[in-house]
Amino acid sequence: MITYTDATLDDLPFIVDVYNSTIASRQITADLLPVSVESRLVWFNQHNPKNRPIWLIKYSNQPCGWVSLSSFYGRAAFEKTVEISLYLHEDFRGKKIGQTTIVRIELFAKQAGIESIFSYVFGHNLPSMNLFKKMNYQQWALLPKIAELDGVKRDLVILGKHLD
């Protein structure tokens, strides 16, 4: 059973731990070193339960990851567009939690008046590329070789979906 709750500041250490656990793979985030809870406070406080949530994801009542919708570009014309971030602890991947979470957050987003969702995904991150494509996201942009991870140039793909 998968449940979602609005994240609180008490959840931020878990959110940061899950995020930091993905850094070493060089597939999921462009951060090269672990981030601190303190460094994520501004990011955390830019969210709200009304239309820019951070949800704690629980699987069988055990925290397993988080999902957020963040503002894009900070200009009024983009108010109905958000970036989705989805991070699962490695022990919980491959259980369709990502698919279920995307369906749920899209329903929430539609009800909140959001019309477009996009995600930044490294081109070599095949699990995330496949997940978003399975959920009917399309490639909106390709930024070739703009990231360097351990001396290897990597593409950044922007995958998006209109919530019509």
- Average pLDDT over every residue of 36-53: 98
pLDDT tens digits for 96-131?
999 999 999 999 999 999 999 999 999 999 999 999
Instruction: Give 100-120 as a DSSP string.
Output: HHHHHHHHHHHHTT--EEEEE
Over the chain, what is the mean pLDDT? 97
pLDDT at residue 102, rounded to an integer: 98
Handedness of CA 114, 116, 119, 124 (dihedral sign): positive
Pairing of strands 81-88, 116-122: parallel
pLDDT at residue 164, rounded to an integer: 86
Nearest residue to 54 (alpha-carbon basis) of 38, 63, 64, 43: 43
62 pLDDT above the threshold of 90: yes
Q: What is the pTM of this model?
A: 0.96
Q: Which two tokens stand for residue 150?
A: 């351990």
The structure tokens 């995904």 sit at 121
**Please, what are the domains in the chain?**
2-115 (3.40.630.30)
